[in-house]
Structures are given as C-alpha cells and as structure tokens.
C-alpha cells in the first residue's frame, strides 16, 4: 500500500509542477515575498517589525490560497475527467488514492512554502548584514513559519474532505468558510461565553470545538514582536494538527470508499 501511496503522491507533485496555473501562482508568491524589501524603503522606523509582519503576512495569504485551490479541485476533476478510472482500477485501495493525492498536494504546497520561507529568511539576514536594519533571523520567525506549515497541513486535509463529497465550487466555498471560522474560533468562543441566549451559547461553543482552531497555529504576531513561544504550546499545536488531520482524512477516505464513479 505504501508504494501505491508514494507513487500517487509523487505523480501529484509532478502534476502541480507541470500545471501552468500553479507556476503562475508560484511566481506571484515569490514577487510578493520579494516586495517585502520594497516595503522597507517606505518605512521610517521599526524595520524589523514591518519586514516580519509583511513577509509572514504575504506567506500566510498565499499558502492557504494555494492549498485551497489545489486541494478542492483535484478529486472532483479526476472524477469529472474520468482519469481516476485507470488508477482506481489498479490494485490500489481507495484510501491509498486519497492519502496519496493528499500527500502530493502537501508536497506541492510545502515546497512553495519552503521556497517562500527561504526567500523571506534570506531577506531578513541580508538586510541585517548589509544595512543593519532589523534584527536578523530569530527563533520566533522560524516558529511562525512552522505554524504556517501546520496550518497548511490541516487546511489541505479539510479541503480534501469537502472535495471527496462535492464539486470544486462547493468544496472551495465550504473550506474557505471553515478557514475563516477557524481563525475566529477564539472570538466565537468568547462571544458564546458572554451571551445570555442559550442557543447562541451552545452554537458558539459547538462551533469552537467542531471547527479546526487555526488561531492555535498562528504565531505570526509573536514573530513580529520577537516573543518566544513555549515548547509545550508548540507540541500541543503539532499534536492538535496531527489529530485533526487524521480525523479529516479518515472521514475523507470513508466517504470516498462509498462513492460510485459513473
């Protein structure tokens, strides 16, 4: 099974590399990250904060967009174009197909994140070394990038789950909603605790526990102010992402196992 998963994953990565839309997005993302340097030219003070905030903000915008775009379209497109026939008819289980496709997307988005991260960190280091602006690379920057990687892992799994049961349009809509609700999870929970209307309280609390809490994985603000994140919190965030991702993939494979490919 592992060989099948890896073969499908590597093929998915190759598909993204040859996909023109992905290439355009990659170029766009790199230009955006590079524009951090330009933004500093218009800054009078706190260069380090502007660089970190702008750079991580751009990466935090591009990565989920790419994760959503790639993950929600893939399975509906395979079924619609019937390319899936010649893969699923092979001695490959459907769960291997789903996990392989998921990993293929992860490789793609992960590769892009890695390239953007290297460019961002290089800018911090070069700027510090050549002009003495900013503070160079610090642990909170790396933690923020790690948080973005966790967010990508989880968001891809959520988008994949929706894609196994609906069209690309519906899956994109649903996954985008989950992404934004997940980023407002803490606010929703606090609001639910303050309200006196019981149904709202229950709804807010329910949504908080049901939806993935992307706020837990967001360390960008701490990178801006160079605030340290305790190791325990990082470990919890990692375990939370792993558990939620496994649950999402189990749901995705369970749905996919029952589907008819007409």
Binding positions for other proteins, rule: CB under 8 A: 1, 3-4, 7-8, 11, 14-15, 18-19, 81-83, 85-93, 96, 258, 260-262
Specify the residue, 21 or 126, whose C-beta has the smaller distance to other proteins. 21
Question: Taking the complex as a whole, how short is the minimal distance between the CB of residue 76 and other proteins, in angstroms?
Answer: 14
User: Which among 154, 137, 120, 126 has a CA at the least distance from the CA of 237?
Assistant: 154
Least gap, CB of 82 to other proteins (angstroms)? 5
Residue 166 C-beta: closest distance to other proteins, Å: 14
Nearer to other proteins, 138 or 259 (CB): 259
Query: CB 46 → other proteins: shortest distance, Å?
Result: 46
Toward other proteins, which CB reaches closer, 17 or 194? 17
Q: Give the nearest distance from C-beta 141 to other proteins in angstroms.
A: 36
Of 13 and 211, the one with the shorter C-beta distance to other proteins is 13
Nearer to other proteins, 13 or 214 (CB): 13
Contact criterion met (CB below 8 Å) for 154 and 217: yes
């Amino acid at each position: 099974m592992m060989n099948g998963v890896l073969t499908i994953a590597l093929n998915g990565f190759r598909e993204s590399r040859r996909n023109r839309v992905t290439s355009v997005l990659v170029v766009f993302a790199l230009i955006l990250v590079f524009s951090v340097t330009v933004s500093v030219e218009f800054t009078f003070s706190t260069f380090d904060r502007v660089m970190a905030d702008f750079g991580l903000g751009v990466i935090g915008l591009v990565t989920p967009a790419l994760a959503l775009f790639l993950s929600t379209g893939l399975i509906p497109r395979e079924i619609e174009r019937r390319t899936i026939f010649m893969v699923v008819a092979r001695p490959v289980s459907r769960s291997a197909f789903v996990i392989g496709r998921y990993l293929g997307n992860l490789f793609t988005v992960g590769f892009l994140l890695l390239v953007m991260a290297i460019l961002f960190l290089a800018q911090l280091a070069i700027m510090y070394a050549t002009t003495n602006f900013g503070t160079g690379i610090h642990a909170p920057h790396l933690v923020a990038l790690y948080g973005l990687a966790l967010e990508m892992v989880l968001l891809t799994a959520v988008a994949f789950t929706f894609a196994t049961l609906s069209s690309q349009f519906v899956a994109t809509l649903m996954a985008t909603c989950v992404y934004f609700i997940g980023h407002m999870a803490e606010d929703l929970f606090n609001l639910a605790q303050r309200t006196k209307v019981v149904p709202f309280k229950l709804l807010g609390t329910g949504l908080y526990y049901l939806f993935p809490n992307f706020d837990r994985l967001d360390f960008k603000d701490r990178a801006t102010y160079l605030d340290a994140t305790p190791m325990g919190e990082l470990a919890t965030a990692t375990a939370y992402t792993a558990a939620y991702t496994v649950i999402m993939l189990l749901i995705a494979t369970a749905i996919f196992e029952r589907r008819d490919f007409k």
